[in-house]
Structure 1
Amino acid sequence: MPVASSSRRKSARSRREQSSDRIEEDYPSQHAGNNDDVEGEDDEEAQPRRKLKQEKKTRKQTRRDSESDNDPPAVADDDEDDRIDIENFHDQPLDKKEGGKLSGIAQDWEMIRKQIHQGSFSLAKEVATSLADVLEGDNAKQALSEVDGIMKTLIDIDHEMQSHEKTLSGMHQQLLRGEPVEGAIDLYEKEVKKRVDEFNDRTTRKKYGSNDQYVQFKQGIFEVQNPGENIPPINDFIPREEGDESDDDDELEIGGVTQDYKCPITLRMLENPMKSSTCGHAFSGDAIRDYLKRSPTTGKSCPAAGCSQKLTMAMLVADSSLEKRVKLAARRAQRDEDDSDVDDDEVIE
């Protein structure tokens, strides 16, 4: 038994020594490919990997150098043939495909103009009638003169905006006819200036006397200050200038306007007035509805004396501006009546 045990120990020790020798022989060959400094150990796969690592290091270093450099990158000069001679590069002619753009810009001008038209003109007229109602004498003249200047300025701006709109529309029509538009910028600027200059060269009567907004503005003031009286021709409010026709000829053409605040149906002061878009006569809202209730669509003759125009509900529109003037005129008439009663009492005493 002791002999057998000794033999087994020698055999085990011999196997461990052989295993250790095999590990030492295999170890260098397994790690030789990862040691870049070992001469003669490179294989074909190791070389591309080292080359790739070196390229990555080079790119990183180049990127860091570029980020640290504050100078802007150099721009290569274009070839002489690729450069555009801006000084001698003229506007190119517009063709049909640009016509839609011109039409869109013209519509933008129209939209802006109408917004100003609806807001500013109405405000100026309301301010003027209110001042005419509460002020008298020199105070009224001064205040109304200032509002008159504002109204004329609004009309000037409105015409200038129309000049832009009409010029663009004209260029659009030219393109639709197949005619190219040469020098579009110069043509546009010259045409707008021409239209504005022509308007500014007109006399005051020719600029404002035929403008519906200005006519309504002056008539509204007169109605409030002179309730129940006939409104004179517009030229009575605008002094004659050189270049205007004679006043007699103008009156024959234009004539006076009579504003009656009584409803032709009820013969009382207008209430919630509605005005005909065809003949211009105004009626109390309830009265005209009752008049047309049996034939609202087919219509009936206008109930105003001497008018033969056909009238339907579709032709009637509510007139808030007229309603306000009616109230102001009624209030002013009441004040005049009260003042007259006071004067009569003083005479009696």
Structure 2
Amino acid sequence: MPVASSSKRKSTRSRREPSSDGIEDENPSQRAGNNDDVEGGEDEEEQPRRRVKQEKKVHKQTREESEHEDEPVHAIDDDEDDRIDIKNFCDQPLDKKEGGKLAGIAQDWEMIRKQIHQGSFSLVKDVANSLADVMEGDHADQALSDIDKIMKALIDIDHEMQSHEVTLSGMHQQLMRGESVEGAIDLYEKEVKKRTEEFYDKTTRKKYGSHEQYVQFKQGIFEVQNPGVNIPPINDFIPREEGDESDDEDGLEIGGVTQDFKCPITFMMLENPMTSSTCGHAFSGGAIRDYLKQCPPNGRSCPTAGCSQKLTMAMLVADSGLEKRVRLAARRAQRDEDNSDADDDEVIE
């Protein structure tokens, strides 16, 4: 009895030994199911044949793709190619619908020009005034001459950018009138070049003598160096060249103004100055506010003697540039007074 039981256990263990493939022999249905998932249910002899067929198929597809790569690319259909004439695209006339685009580009030029020069002109004027205040003699003349060249270069760049802006605006107006613009790129380049060359062909007086920033630049230097003295006309700072009118015949002469840095209301040195955008007169900020506190809607007369312009607070702007010049002039006047007192003390001794 015990022997028979031992033999039976041994037989059962033998049947449950796993096959060499790792799949138990006692579950043939499961093995067949796994073969269906892996090899499509084919027996072991059929599997190698199927692999060979698959490899031949892949090889054939690869060879066909390689052959197609050597074939020439077919040209685009004539109907598609006629949509845009690439060679003559630049010569296509612009019509009214492109006008808005040109106006937008012109505005971009204006915005860039203002951003670049908004602080540049003020910075150069401040540097020039500071140099005029602290330097004297030949060193001052050389330094101010170098600053003068920088100011003129800024004006040159400003004009070149304006040439682009004005040209685009002119083309926009032409399109808005219903006129077509032929050869837009050539027209644009020629017009910009024409405007730029016309500017550079002008004399120094004609290029800079009527430019507001340059006039303020030269006047500021003179004010610092000569406090309380009338500012001469701008042409006194720019030598006459061939092609300029004589000083007696020049009707565009700018200058000859007096700037004593005193408020016409308080008769004291300007404090927090505000300048009128209509008549150009400056006042201490607190004094002009009090003066216009109860003014009628159309404003009050300018408090500067001899001026009949009407003023409102909306016409006044804070003038930081003038404020800096006032401080420099006051400092220079104080320095001159101290030097004068020192000279008097030496004489007494």
TM-score (structure 1 length as normaliser): 0.79
1:268 paired residue number: 268
Deviation at 1:309, TM superposition (A): 1.1
Q: Deviations over 1:136-174 (max 9, x none)?
A: 111111111111101101101000001001111111111
User: Match for 1:270: what amino acid?
Assistant: L
1:157 paired residue number: 157
1:123 paired residue number: 123
2:278 paired residue number: 278
Cα separation, 1, equivalents of 2:175 and 2:150: 38
User: Match for 1:322: what amino acid?
Assistant: L
Contact preservation (8 Å) 1:102, 1:169:
yes
Distance 1:66 1:312, change over 3 A: farther
- Check if 1:78 corresponds to 2:82: no
Contact preservation (8 Å) 1:296, 1:313:
no
Distance 1:177 1:85, change over 3 A: closer
Q: Deviations over 1:188-245 (max 9, x none)?
A: 1000000000001000000000000100110111111111110000000000000000
Distance 1:104 1:344, change over 3 A: same
- Matched position secondary structure for 2:249: helix
Contact preservation (8 Å) 2:96, 2:178:
yes
1:348 paired residue number: 348
1:110 paired residue number: 110
User: Match for 1:291: what amino acid?
Assistant: Y
1:174 paired residue number: 174
Contact preservation (8 Å) 2:231, 2:255:
no
1:187 paired residue number: 187
Cα separation, 2, equivalents of 1:80 and 1:298: 72
- Matched position secondary structure for 1:250: coil
Deviation at 1:86, TM superposition (A): 5.8
Q: Name which one, 1 or 2, has greater alpha-carbon Rg.
A: 1
Deviation at 1:117, TM superposition (A): 2.2
2:219 paired residue number: 219
User: Match for 2:278: what amino acid?
Assistant: T
Deviation at 1:284, TM superposition (A): 0.8
Cα separation, 2, equivalents of 1:136 and 1:127: 15
Cα separation, 2, equivalents of 1:129 and 1:72: 74
Deviation at 1:120, TM superposition (A): 0.8
2:314 paired residue number: 314
Provide the identity percentage: 77
Cα separation, 1, equivalents of 2:89 and 2:314: 58
- Matched position secondary structure for 2:248: helix
Cα separation, 2, equivalents of 1:100 and 1:88: 23
Deviation at 1:253, TM superposition (A): 5.1
1:48 paired residue number: none
- Matched position secondary structure for 2:335: helix
Distance 1:74 1:274, change over 3 A: farther
User: Match for 2:75: what amino acid?
Assistant: D
Cα separation, 2, equivalents of 1:61 and 1:97: 57
Cα separation, 1, equivalents of 2:289 and 2:259: 22
1:42 paired residue number: none
Unaligned runs of 5+ in 2: 1-35
1:28 paired residue number: none
Cα separation, 2, equivalents of 1:301 and 1:79: 76
Contact preservation (8 Å) 2:90, 2:184:
no
2:235 paired residue number: 235
Aligned-residue Cα RMSD (Å) equals 3.3
Cα separation, 2, equivalents of 1:299 and 1:99: 42
Distance 1:166 1:263, change over 3 A: same
Cα separation, 1, equivalents of 2:70 and 2:324: 72
- Check if 1:91 corresponds to 2:91: yes
